[in-house]
Copies of this chain bind each other. A is one copy, B any other.
């Protein structure tokens, strides 16, 4: 498979496959591996202080000649410091999420930085287009981690956005194989963003327990929870069971916020605590059956001769 289109042109990459910027998972090593295999690697700033982000950007610049990007969650209290690092380090591609793209996109573009914004519904997509984002990530309800409140299935979202938006669409949520890529592109996307599959790769900085939990999980083993305080999709474990039941019992919001705390993602993904941590993952987990190198993952995703990838 060799797709050349608006997304490969935009980022000057071989395959329209972008690795999601994920907390505790996508440092410079994973981003480098993805970029060197012809995709676009993203450093996930979500779990990094500004100094650590600077370090990761410097490392990837020293060790990788291919294009890479940084994912910036706009809700961060220190977002302006993170932005300042990105600019100082001359990053050329930024993916923004969880906030208003109207605030910083123009400034980024004036500095020659390509900006892609993550959206989960039409309104957000039109907003991103109106402030001149170069592309959007359309994230469906299948996606792991933080999720849009509208819970729109990816196929529906792509079809709707392809009808209404002119900038290229990168489909995200539940995509873990070539079939998923082909389907997204057939519906109107120009590229895909893949998270969970790379989170479970050799080069991911996540804990091995988390990677193995992804490998073990079946197709019905993730769930969406905490609708009232911000939806998250993760593998169902004792913590998530407690969260779901608390929510179902109409426990007050303050108690849900307290139950969630601030370290659950680190605990699960980075420290490998399978009971008390949050193991963010998309619905594609059922098809992830081993921890592979990024090179092997790309072989599966782009190799035409792979038999079961066209089913």
Binding site for B on A (CB under 8 A): 220-225, 236, 241, 244-245, 248-251
Q: Which residue of B lies closest to A248 (CB)?
A: B223
Measured in the bound complex, the distance between the Cα atoms of B223 and A250 in whole Å is 8
Residues of B within 8 A of A223 (CB): 245, 248-250
- For residue A280, give the distance in angstroms from its CB to the closest CB of chain B: 16
Can you spell out 13 A-B residue pairs with CB atoms less than 8 angstroms apart? A220-B249, A220-B250, A223-B245, A223-B248, A223-B249, A224-B248, A225-B248, A236-B245, A236-B249, A241-B241, A241-B245, A244-B245, A245-B245
- Copy number in this complex? 2
Measured in the bound complex, the distance between the Cα atoms of B240 and A249 in whole Å is 11
Residues of B within 8 A of A249 (CB): 220-223, 236
| Chain A contact surface mostly | mixed
Query: A220-B251, A223-B250, A225-B248 provided; 10 other pairs, C-beta below 8 A?
Result: A220-B249, A220-B250, A221-B249, A223-B245, A223-B248, A223-B249, A224-B248, A241-B241, A241-B245, A245-B245
Measured in the bound complex, the distance between the Cα atoms of B244 and A224 in whole Å is 12
Residues of B within 8 A of A248 (CB): 223-225, 236, 244
Selected from B244, B250, B251, the residue in CB contact (under 8 A) with A244 is: B244
- For residue A295, give the distance in angstroms from its CB to the closest CB of chain B: 33
- For residue A151, give the distance in angstroms from its CB to the closest CB of chain B: 12
Measured in the bound complex, the distance between the Cα atoms of B81 and A105 in whole Å is 71
Residues of B within 8 A of A236 (CB): 245, 248-249
- For residue A63, give the distance in angstroms from its CB to the closest CB of chain B: 40
Q: Which residue of B lies closest to A244 (CB)?
A: B248
**Which 7 residue pairs across A and B have the least CB separation, nearest first?**
A223-B248, A220-B249, A223-B249, A244-B248, A220-B250, A220-B251, A236-B249
Residues of B within 8 A of A224 (CB): 248
Q: Which residue of B lies closest to A235 (CB)?
A: B249
Residues of B within 8 A of A245 (CB): 223, 236, 241, 244-245
Residues of B within 8 A of A220 (CB): 249-251
Residues of B within 8 A of A244 (CB): 244-245, 248
